[in-house]
Structure 1
């Protein structure tokens, strides 16, 4: 089940421009997708090849299952047990005042060049997982939490765009918050991503009712101790606090 979509050449200049824009406004999610598109190379193709070799991947592709359908169905998520992945995800989205569809809007035309429906479905699936991974890993949507999730994501996907965002973001924050363990928290997230199960290949639709604590244990998701210890940085890099730290 090879894809017709060719791996793009990396555009380092476009990535640099988007990185600079992202550092000026960390809430500009559109820049993240520009960076990812510029630096993806063949990493997404390698992930897709791995995905379709699994029973879960084959089932999702053959049945044309879209993760977004599950994540945006708040009525169904609200009926799940307290402490389940689905309920915790819903609570996270409500608390942060965001929606699953928000990532779709922010991705702009990043998915318009695909020539293969199956490959596009997998690519979109990886996009929808971002906020789900926040919930699973325990990293918040503050500046440090975002860079930690991105570092974790790089370990999982080997996409150079994630590495660029994590590194530049970590060094930027470490200069503003010297001695607060920023680099250590991001590096720990990278290590935890290497130790965890391969999250892109999980059957998330059927895991929504499972207790979050059970999923973390099952997938070897370690506690983000260094991120938690850097709570002052987290508090000052919340979306509503970013202006004060810029």
Structure 2
């Protein structure tokens, strides 16, 4: 079925069936190559069938979510505006995000392009699809808010666990679980696995970040924003040396449980 929404074509139902086979195929590719970011969006599209609907309805009931939904700001457009980003002081969320972009070479535009490859309907003019873009565009901002490094395997895995706690959805759950299972060769006390679990717990304790007014949030001092949003310090994560955090989870070993999951 094709839906026409304000000039944009959606070639599938807004609430589609979950594609478990496609998700596990993408998950295998992602676990084989953690830099294949496109597979993340393939997994999300396959498994988070009705999550944007649920998140949008929750947004409308949150403290300032009605105003956020009414304004429907496209965060990617704001975050690609270097002149706008330059206005923020170095110690603000916006200033630290600007430094993050300079250090990593990442961009909101690049993230949007990758997501479009994984889900063809991302540009549609519809509130639910806008919610999907919003949860995509806050990803790198959440790196800044939480402190998890974007260029590390463990940093991404821990933020995925944090995101699952914040957003729910089978897509985030599948990636977080697969990442955690990769650490099991070292036993349940493996520091990497504990850091991923810590990310989930911190996500549960934090304020629901999707409902925040990010234009205002970027002007807050980072330390103040973390305190207000109840984002705790990932102590187990930072206790692991950076060189270890950057290596493949489980030090390149694949646990038999992970193999069974990915070959289903």
Q: Secondary structure at the match of 1:221?
A: coil
Corresponding residue of 2:121: 112
Q: Secondary structure at the match of 1:65?
A: coil
Aligned positions of 1:69-218 closer than 5 A? 69-107=77-115, 108-112=117-121, 117-141=126-150, 142-175=152-185, 180-218=190-228
Unaligned stretches of 5+ residues in structure 1: none
What is the rounded CA distance, in whole Å, between the counterparts of 2:120 and 2:131 in structure 1?
11
Question: Aligned-pair distance for 1:179?
Answer: 6.5
Larger radius of gyration: 2
The normalised TM-score by structure 1 is: 0.88
Question: Aligned-pair distance for 1:166?
Answer: 1.0
Match of 2:71 among 51, 60, 63: 63
What is the rounded CA distance, in whole Å, between the counterparts of 1:109 and 1:21 in structure 2?
13
Question: Aligned-pair distance for 1:147?
Answer: 0.6
Q: Give the CA RMSD over aligned residues.
A: 2.5
Indicate the larger mover: 65-74 or 153-162. 65-74
Question: Aligned-pair distance for 1:127?
Answer: 0.5
Q: Secondary structure at the match of 1:69?
A: helix
Indicate the larger mover: 134-143 or 48-57. 48-57
Question: Aligned-pair distance for 1:40?
Answer: 0.5
Is the CA contact (8 Å cut-off) linking 2:183 and 2:190 kept in structure 1?
Answer: no
Corresponding residue of 1:42: 50
Q: Secondary structure at the match of 2:232?
A: coil
Q: Secondary structure at the match of 1:34?
A: helix
Question: Aligned-pair distance for 1:100?
Answer: 0.9
Match of 2:245 among 190, 210, 234: 234
State how many pairs are aligned. Answer: 239
What is the rounded CA distance, in whole Å, between the counterparts of 2:138 and 2:184 in structure 1?
27
The normalised TM-score by structure 2 is: 0.83
What is the rounded CA distance, in whole Å, between the counterparts of 1:118 and 1:216 in structure 2?
28
Question: Aligned-pair distance for 1:227?
Answer: 0.7
Is the CA contact (8 Å cut-off) linking 1:150 and 1:166 kept in structure 2?
Answer: yes
CA distance 1:176–1:76, change in 2 (3 Å):
farther
CA distance 1:230–1:123, change in 2 (3 Å):
same
Spell out, residue by residue over 1:206-228, the C-alpha distance to the aligned partner (whole angstroms, 9 max, x if none).
11111000000001001000111
What is the rounded CA distance, in whole Å, between the counterparts of 2:134 and 2:120 in structure 1?
11
Corresponding residue of 1:32: 40
Unaligned stretches of 5+ residues in structure 2: 254-264
CA distance 1:210–1:10, change in 2 (3 Å):
same
Match of 2:59 among 51, 55, 59: 51
